[in-house]
Copies of this chain bind each other. A is one copy, B any other.
Amino acid sequence: MSPSAAPLQGFPAKATIIEVGPRDGLQSEPRWVPTEEKVALVNGLIGAGLRHFEATSFVSPRAVPQMRDAADVLSGIDRQNGVELTALVPNAKGAERAIEAGIDAMVVFMSASESHNRKNVNRSREDSLAGFAEICRMGEAAGKPVYGAIATSFGCPFEGDVPVSAVVDIARRYRDMGITTISLGDTTGMATPPLVQERCRGLRAAVPDIDITLHFHNTRGVGLVCVYAGLMEGVTRYESSIGGLGGCPFAPKATGNICTEDLVYMLDECGVETGVDLSRLIPTARRIETAVGHPLPGQLMKAGPRLELHPMDAVATANG
């Protein structure tokens, strides 16, 4: 019965996992992670079967020092076997650097809420969109696809609830620029199953030709529940972070991204194929925990595989 041979009723047969630990995870780590360690992390994950990575970001090295080695990280990764490396690009300068470094696809990003966009990138949403048009032209000229991310898609830490229309409007603008892969970011862990339903259905109705990617945080404990809700909507693309690397800027002790190995475990058990070998993910998660020097929130790396048997004389059990 484990892992399940057929997908749960209503679930897709396969899902694609986009590993964002090297970018969304590491960027909030105060301790410098050496370039070789970043490269070894991604190469280890490729060895476990992952193929899609948000590998770095071409932002200002002053703003995000941890990403200052973006080009070197890209050049160190073993890109055989259909590996796709993407990077965040905030502006034309970043896009230029990303293309020069040989990125496979660029990710532009803005927030669904005006105040978060201003706080995050210091400009209005309209100004963000205007800038993306230029990046799309650069991408087209270089033969590099551009993907679009929408932060605060499920709620904003400054404004609270975010109307579905704000997300749909940005998705339409993205689509009009030729962006057909769109990620909904749960920036501070405000996504819930009803919001997942509502937003997925809203996008399907308004821009049926786009691929939806869901990016959840486990900040309030329901990250994988939101994936479950997304699977029931037929969404096949999920972003996650090895070990649950990354945090929440609003609550120092809270968790950020959902954890890749816990996600793979859930998908395996629900019969959704990922191509990832869970047993090879766990050691990589433990290694990155050592590299960052503090405990990570991933559960499987602590508990071990489901069917790892224990000797009867090993521990005292407790009733219940």
Contacts and interface: CB of A to CB of B under 8 A. Distances in A.
Interface of A: 1-2, 4, 8, 20, 23-24, 27-28, 57, 59, 64, 88, 90, 109, 115-116, 119-121, 149, 151, 155, 157-161, 185, 187, 189-190, 192-195, 197-198, 215, 218-222, 224-225, 228-229, 248-251, 253-255, 259, 262, 265-266, 269-271, 295, 298-300, 302-304, 306-307, 309-312, 314-320
A2 B156 CA distance: 13
A88 B320 contact: yes
B109 A319 contact: yes
A90, A298, A303: residue with the most chain B Cβ atoms closer than 10 Å: A303
A273 to B, nearest CB: 15
B190 A319 contact: no
Contacts of A24: 320
Contacts of A317: 116, 119-120, 157, 187, 249
A81 to B, nearest CB: 26
A24 B229 CA distance: 30
A312 B221 contact: no
A187 B320 contact: yes
Contact of A157 (B189, B190, B310): B310
A57, A159, A190, A318: residue with the most chain B Cβ atoms closer than 10 Å: A318
Contacts of A312: 115, 119, 158
A17 B192 CA distance: 20
A269 B192 contact: yes
A198 B315 CA distance: 30
A219 B299 contact: yes
Contacts of A155: 2, 306-307
Contact of A315 (B109, B159, B250): B250
Contact of A309 (B27, B158, B300): B158
Given A160-B309, A192-B269, A269-B193, A149 B298 contact: no
A218 B221 CA distance: 10
Given A194-B271, A306-B155, A320 B149 contact: yes
A27 B255 CA distance: 27
10 contacts: A8-B197, A24-B320, A158-B309, A158-B311, A160-B309, A161-B307, A194-B270, A220-B303, A221-B259, A221-B265
Nearest to A248: B303
